Every structure is written in structure tokens, then in C-alpha cells.
Structure 1
Amino acid sequence: MRESFLKYIQYEKRFSAHTITSYENDINQFEQFLTDNYGEKLEEASHNSIRHWVVSLVEKGTSPRSVNRKMASLRALYKFLLKREIITKDPTWKIQALKTNKALPQFVNEPDITRLLDQCEFSRDFEGKRDQLILELLYGTGIRLSELINLKTDDIDIYSNTIKVLGKRNKERIIPFSNNLKHVIEDYKQLKKMSVSAKEDEYLLVTETGDRCYPMLIYRTVKKYLNLFTTIEKRSPHVLRHTFATHLLNKGAELNAVKDLLGHSSLAATQVYTHNSLDKLKSVFDQAHPKA
């Protein structure tokens, strides 16, 4: 049953590998709780046993955001079981999400990201050029980590300065990029051809041994360089995506345009960046308006 659900979200819903792993871990954790406290199987869980699990998570210090994510996993599971007529009633019904403080996305300020990309001395070998390309792509296009790793060489159109990205739910979008990024891509591809015997030649970013890049390599690369140029707490690939969106809005880009570039399905997900833009607008107002 659990295996059928995991296959469903993998092959039919097209969830990312990271999301599937999170769902599986959440379900396994809840199943262990049921076994230890109620002697029930997943399909036998009741409204009360799920509420008890939520309370136990909170008492252990699990953040409301994490609890809500775990509940999203259970809701998806029981919706699947209901659809397959394995259960007749959804036990997650009427269990409300916990209130959370809306965390604003962290981003690198413009002077720091400019110094990183313009003044950092990347090594002239394949690894140095790949590191530069990773940073330039994340900040220059706002793509997600998973999209970066799955980016194929043929997805880059050097002539029109665009990349084709396959995002969540297999949604395809086209993102323009700068001439500066174009030069970095061309230099990288030339070094890659000379230096690496690529086993995964269809993918743009590869390791020194020719294998496709993996998430931890990207994380280590981003953290290594952000450590040199910024003091923000979070230093992950996603921070560069936040930085991309925030800087566009700060420069006057339309919210709908940023939404399309990020691959968001609704404006609600993009609007979180407007807070940072409003701070910038207020600063401009205070400096420029005669009555401020």
C-alpha cells in the first residue's frame, strides 16, 4: 500500500526525488508511532491517533512548519487510499494546520553578489569554471537546485540567450540569460570537452569524473563562495533563487513576470518577495519625497 502510494507520487504526480524521500520518512515515522501507541496499521489510523501524533511532535519541540509538512504527507497518503477505496473515511479531515510565523526569504544584497561574481578569482581549471557557472546560473536565472542538476546541454540556446527548464509537475518554461552568462557557459563547455570524459554528456553540469552533478556538490560549492562574501545566516542554492527574485522586483520587474521566471503556479508563492521590495520602496520614498 505504502509502496503503491510512493510509486503514484513518483510516476503519476511527478514529485521530485527529494519530496518523495520526505513523504516516505514522514509516513514511516507516523507508522512507527501507530505501532508503538495503538497497534494500528496505516489504513486503520483514526482522527484521534493522528491528533495524538501531532501533539507528540509539538511536545518534542518539532516546529509548526515541520509538523504541517508531515501532515501534508499524511493528507496525500489518505487522499490516495480514499481514492483507491482502501479506506472509507479520511482520518486527516478537520485536522487544522498549525499557525506559523511567515519567514521572509533570505537573500544576498546587491553589492555582495556583485563582488562575488565580478571579483572572485575562480581557478582557471574545469572545477573553477564549473563553480562559476553554478553560481551564475543560480543567480542569473533563479532556477531550483533540482532544475540545475537536470539541465541538459541541449537545453541551452546560445543564439537566443535562453534556457529551457523542466520544473515541478513537468512544467516547461523558457528563461533568458545575460551575455555575461553566455560567455561563462561557452568557456565551461570548452573546458568540459577538453578535460572531462563525460559519462553523462547530455547533462550540462558534471563532476571531474564525468558523472552528473549531485545536490551535495552544489550545496558545498554555493556555501564555499557565499562564506567569502556575505554574512547572511542561510547560504544555500535556494538563497540565490531568492536573491534573483528579490533583485528583479527591487529593480521594478512586474510580479507576474517574476512568477513566470520562477515557475510558480500562482502569484501567492511569488508575493513573499514583495516585502523586501516594499522595504526598498520605502527607503527611496524617505530619501526622495519632500514631505517624507
Structure 2
Amino acid sequence: MNTATHWKVDVTKILCRSEITTVLADLKRKEPRSVNTRQNLIIFRLSTCCGLRASEIVGLNLGDLRVGVTRPYINVRRTIAKGDKARRVPLWWDAGTLADLEAWKVHRQANGASAGDPLICTQCRGNEGKRLDRFNLRKRFLAACSCLGDDRVADLTIHHGRHSFVSHALAGGRSLAEVRDAAGHSNVAITSIYTHVAVDDEGETGHLFVF
């Protein structure tokens, strides 16, 4: 069966631009008070603004965040990528995401983390630095979205953040090939499914991909 022809995007699960900006604003307002909230911001960024799968997010190491180069990117290693297919996820597409991830890396390094330590980890005193599992990651993503209301959160999973990334990247003018490579799709036909998904409240898709 051809997945690209038999699977459709549920547009009700795509986070529209106003929802993404609402979540980011809420998290950034609260992050100075809580390192856990700050990490939830990073999880939301990795899912919704970078398109990473849950298994990839929990598998990321600090050294996979390559920010000291001309075109910063996330190195999704073969060992954590679906189908053992390594890829690079551009961070230079979105200045807000780059700034938050770069600041998080600095924070982790200031607390003694090295390149081989997990990017996302437990923050409990006395147990800091332990890699999160996917169950806790999914809970944290939904906690990040809590400002959207209980009814909306009940409709969402962390994987819908990935769908939202693909939809917004295409709407922002990135080519099918660029988004295919960033998302790690096996072929461009899968990516093309998202080309007609409206990502704004008004259904307009001509904006730049910047959050």
C-alpha cells in the first residue's frame, strides 16, 4: 500500500500560527520562574518548530545541537532516526527557535553537561541529567500546550507538533525537497500531502516561517 496515497493529514490536529505563538508566549512568560517550564519550551520548539519525532527528541545529545556554524542545525544521528536515516534539521529557518535552543545549550553547559549528555533530561534536584523517556516527554508537550485549553489539548499529541512543522515550513515557502530532508520523510510524495493544509486561522498560508 502506498502510504502517500492512503494517508491524509487531519487538519484539525495542525497547530495554527496563532496557537503556536500563544503557546510560545505563555512559556516564555513563565520560563524565568521554572527550569521545567523552560525545558517544556525547548520540547515544544523541537517538536513544532523543528519537526522531530518523540524518539528523536529523547535521543538527542547536547553535541547534536550545532549552533556555532554559519547555518546552524540539529544533527539527528542514524542511531536515533527513523529507519536509521541520519539527517540535518535546519535551525537557520527560524530565528526564535535558534535563539531558544542556543540559550538552552549554554544553560546545560553552565550546569556541567558535556556533548554526550542528553539535551532533554530530568531537572529534579538530586536526579538531574537523566534522559527523559517518551512517556514523560509526551506529558511535557501537552503541559506546554495547556494555555490552549483542555478541549484543545485533548485533541493533541506530540506528533501533531511534527505535522505542524511540515505544514508551516511548506506554507512559508520552503521547497518540497527541503522539507522532505528536514523532516526525514522517505520520499517527497509524503511531504506533498501537506501542501494544501491551511495553517492560519484565516486559511492564509503566504507568511514566512518565523516564530
Matched residue type, 1:111? S
TM-score with structure 1 setting the length: 0.55
Alignment correspondent of 1:22: none
Task: Provide closer, same or farther for how the CA distance between residues 135 and 256 of structure 1 changes in structure 2, counting only shifts above 3 A.
Answer: same
Alignment correspondent of 1:163: 74
Q: Which of 134, 138, 141 is 1:215 aligned to?
A: 134
* Mapped partners of 1:194, 1:126: distance in 2: 13
How many residues are paired up?
185
Matched residue type, 2:66? D
Alignment correspondent of 1:154: 63
Task: Provide closer, same or farther for how the CA distance between residues 183 and 104 of structure 1 changes in structure 2, counting only shifts above 3 A.
Answer: closer
Q: Deviations over 1:2-57 (max 9, x none)?
A: xxxxxxxxxxxxxxxxxxxxxxxxxxxxxxxxxxxxxxxxxxxxxxxxxxxxxxxx
Give the number of the structure whose residues are more often helix, by fraction: 1
Is 1:141–2:46 an aligned residue pair? no
Structure 1 segment 249-288 matched on structure 2, within 5 A: 249-277=170-198
Structure 1 segment 184-199 matched on structure 2, within 5 A: 184-193=100-109
Which is higher, the Rg of structure 1 or of structure 2? 1
Is 1:110–2:53 an aligned residue pair? no
Task: Provide closer, same or farther for how the CA distance between residues 200 and 179 of structure 1 changes in structure 2, counting only shifts above 3 A.
Answer: closer
Matched residue type, 1:235? L
Alignment correspondent of 2:207: none
* Mapped partners of 1:262, 1:198: distance in 2: 27
Counterpart contact for 2:63–2:115, Cα < 8 Å: no
> What secondary structure is seen at the aligned counterpart in 2 of 1:122?
helix
Matched residue type, 2:21? T
How big is the shift at 1:259?
Answer: 1.0
How big is the shift at 1:163?
Answer: 1.0
Unaligned runs of 5+ in 2: 205-211
TM-score with structure 2 setting the length: 0.74
CA RMSD after TM alignment:
3.1
Unaligned runs of 5+ in 1: 1-95, 285-292
Counterpart contact for 2:63–2:116, Cα < 8 Å: no
Counterpart contact for 1:222–1:235, Cα < 8 Å: no
Q: Which of 76, 82, 88 is 1:174 aligned to?
A: 88
* Mapped partners of 1:242, 1:206: distance in 2: 24
Matched residue type, 1:219? R
